């Protein structure tokens, strides 16, 4: 019970800052969309970010899966000072790696751009090379920001790391409105790189208070380093395989009409916004707890905590998916519809958003389920399942691209994510027999019924409100009223059907609010 209350309060704290960051992220994307639209400038900007982000995600994502469990293991033995020394070495090695990667990338930019965007030609290709050389040092600062975040989370400090994302977004917004307007997309790209440096720096004071001391002495013979390497390598390969999905999508998109890369990127930002509201906050809060429970061999508590979190993911993300599908057009028009982002851009992005939304629950549940494996220090099983995911994504991409163009790539990604979720759930239950015994499938059925009612209410309300008020205010009213009506029906359906989790969440919410007031 204590674990549940702590996770719920931590989730609310993280969710607040993530909500702030995501809203600022939408403002950021709206400003960028107005500046670049879905032109070749937007394609070049999106692609220049994709490859560095893929390398960063693979390396730092792999480390993120082991930092919390290993730091927690040292701390539970009263060896926190030893843990700080170990991760000081890790930070130094990671920074050196990304510095070297940046130098190589800057020198070899023409060849590398040809590899990741073979369909780009002429001005689009030349601009992508130029932006690539500006953005590459971003990886160094992103790696520091990520490592600082994980170390703070391992110490149960969640607010500052979550807030740092808002700092990043504010910096990019200001850069777009200043450097972007003065120096075009090149100025925007420079601002994007500097924003990540700000995200890393803002976390340092809190990290120092937690006990961290930055120095560049390397203890390459530390036994913990070997353990990190051993645990991270399978995750490294798993994430590499996962990033192949991203690579396949954008390589194929580079051959399609101008704006295909950009519209997929804009749609993905809206998907990430929805995931961040529920799943990012929850997985960040729950990971240290389930890691500790696994280390202490309290497997019944581990299973109960993970299952409860999975139910929240299913309810939250399925409801969000309904909103994105039924209200996709006015949402895209409201967020992005200004400047160079015209009606054609709105249509392209809306189609991609709907197709991405279908697999959002698979992606979101996958984030949580992989944390379950990582808490058990099993990084190999997600790796094997990721290979299947890549094959499914590639197969459906080749099958659907000719029929649906860029939307086919988004739909293929969704089908691969749903496959990934199903296989993870199956394998995790094999490791923890009876994991889903507490009515998971009955709960999912209730969620689907409630989601169906929500979809009908959202659609009818949206159609009734369409065009009553013109401009951005009309879109706000349409989305807000239709979304609120649908959400009220969704929640009401839960209580009417007598779903116990609805009452538990309500009591937890009231307890968390009472705790804050106290």
pLDDT digits (tens, 9 = 90+) for 413-439: 999 999 999 999 999 988 888 777 767
Q: Are the CB atoms for 207 and 155 separated by under 8 Å?
A: no
Token pair listed for 516 = 């804050």
What span, in angstroms and rounded, lies between the C-alpha atoms of 20 and 27? 11
Q: Three-state secondary structure along 208-264? A: HHHCCCCCCCCCCCCHHHHHHHHHHHHHHHHHHHHHHHHHHHHHHHCCCCCCHHHHH
Average pLDDT, the chain: 87
Which pLDDT does position 13 carry in this prediction?
Answer: 67
Q: Three-state secondary structure along 48-107? A: HHHHHHHHHHHHHHHHHHHHHHHHHHHHHCCCHHHHHHHHHHHHHHHHHHHHHHHHHHHH
Which pLDDT does position 154 carry in this prediction?
Answer: 82
Closest CA to 312 of 192, 207, 215, 443: 443
Which pLDDT does position 436 carry in this prediction?
Answer: 76
The number of beta carbons lying within 10 Å of the beta carbon of residue 295 is 17
What span, in angstroms and rounded, lies between the C-alpha atoms of 1 and 305? 9
Which pLDDT does position 284 carry in this prediction?
Answer: 73
Longest dimension (CA), the chain: 69
- Residue 218's φ and ψ, nearest 5 degrees, are -105, 125
In which residue are the tokens 């200004």 written? 338
For residue 266, give every residue at least 6 positions away whose Cβ sits within 8 Å of its Cβ, in sequence order, or none.
29, 33, 38, 332, 336, 349, 352
Token pair listed for 86 = 């170990």
Q: What is the rounded average pLDDT of the residues 114-132?
A: 94
What span, in angstroms and rounded, lies between the C-alpha atoms of 380 and 281? 25
User: Which segment, 95-99, 160-164, 374-378, is predicted with the most confidence on average?
Assistant: 95-99
Q: What is the rounded average pLDDT of the residues 61-68?
A: 83
What is the residue extent of each domain of the chain? 40-246
Higher pLDDT among residues 455 and 500, named by residue = 455
The CA distances from residue 162 to 11, 13, 285, 410, in Å, are: 11, 9, 11, 28
**Statement: residue 312 has pLDDT above 50:** yes
Token pair listed for 377 = 């220090």
Q: What is the pTM of this model?
A: 0.80
For residue 175, the SS3 value is helix
Higher pLDDT among residues 457 and 223, named by residue = 457
pLDDT tens digits along 4-55 = 555 556 666 666 777 788 889 889 999 999 999 999 999 999 999 988 999 9
**Statement: residue 188 has pLDDT above 80:** yes
Q: Are the CB atoms for 91 and 144 separated by under 8 Å?
A: yes
**Statement: residue 252 has pLDDT above 60:** yes
Which pLDDT does position 502 carry in this prediction?
Answer: 64
């Amino acid at each position: 019970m204590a674990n549940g209350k702590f996770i719920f309060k931590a989730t609310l704290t993280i969710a607040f800052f993530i909500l702030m960051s995501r809203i600022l992220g939408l403002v950021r994307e709206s400003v960028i969309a107005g500046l670049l639209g879905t032109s070749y400038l937007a394609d070049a900007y999106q692609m220049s970010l994709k490859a560095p982000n893929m390398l960063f995600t693979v390396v730092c994502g792999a480390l993120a899966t082991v930092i919390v469990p290993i730091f927690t293991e040292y701390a539970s033995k009263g060896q926190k000072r030893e843990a700080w020394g170990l991760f000081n070495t890790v930070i130094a090695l990671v920074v050196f790696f990304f510095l070297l990667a940046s130098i190589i990338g800057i020198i070899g930019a023409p060849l590398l751009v040809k590899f990741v965007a073979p369909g780009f030609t002429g001005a689009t290709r030349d601009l992508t090379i130029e932006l690539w050389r500006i953005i590459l040092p971003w990886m160094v600062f992103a790696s520091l920001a990520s490592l600082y975040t994980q170390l703070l989370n391992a110490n149960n400090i969640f607010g500052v790391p979550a807030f740092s994302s808002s700092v990043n977004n504010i910096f990019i917004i200001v850069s777009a409105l200043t450097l972007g307007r003065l120096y075009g997309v090149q100025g925007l790209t420079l601002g994007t790189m500097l924003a990540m440096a700000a995200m890393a720096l803002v976390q340092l004071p809190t990290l120092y208070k937690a006990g961290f001391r930055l120095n560049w002495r390397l203890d390459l013979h530390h036994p913990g380093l070997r353990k990190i390497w051993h645990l991270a390598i399978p995750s490294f390969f798993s994430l590499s395989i996962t990033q192949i999905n991203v690579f396949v999508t954008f390589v194929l998109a580079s051959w399609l009409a101008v704006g295909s890369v950009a519209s997929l990127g804009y749609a993905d930002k809206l998907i990430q916004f929805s995931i961040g509201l529920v799943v990012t906050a929850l997985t960040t809060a729950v990971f240290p707890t389930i890691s500790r429970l696994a280390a202490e061999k309290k497997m019944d508590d581990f299973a109960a905590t993970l299952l409860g979190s999975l139910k929240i993911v299913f309810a939250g993300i399925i409801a969000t998916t309904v909103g994105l599908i039924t209200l996709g057009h006015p949402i895209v028009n409201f967020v992005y519809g200004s400047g160079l982002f015209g009606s054609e851009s709105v249509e392209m992005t809306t189609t991609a958003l709907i197709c991405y939304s279908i697999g959002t629950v698979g992606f979101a549940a996958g984030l949580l389920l992989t944390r379950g494996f990582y808490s058990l220090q099993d990084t190999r099983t997600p790796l094997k399942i990721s290979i299947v995911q890549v094959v499914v994504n590639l197969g459906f991409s080749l099958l659907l691209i000719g029929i649906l163009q860029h939307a086919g790539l988004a739909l293929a990604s969704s089908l691969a994510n749903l496959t990934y979720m199903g296989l993870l759930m199956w394998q995790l239950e094999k490791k923890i027999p009876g994991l889903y015994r507490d009515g998971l499938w009955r709960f999912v059925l209730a969620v689907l019924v409630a989601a169906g009612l929500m979809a009908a209410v959202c659609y009818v309300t949206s159609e009734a409100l369409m065009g009553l008020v013109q401009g951005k205010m009309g879109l706000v009213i349409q989305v807000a009223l239709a979304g609120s009506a649908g959400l009220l029906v969704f929640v009401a359906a839960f209580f009417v059907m007598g779903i116990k989790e609805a009452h538990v969440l309500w009591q937890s919410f009231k307890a968390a609010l009472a705790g804050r007031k106290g």
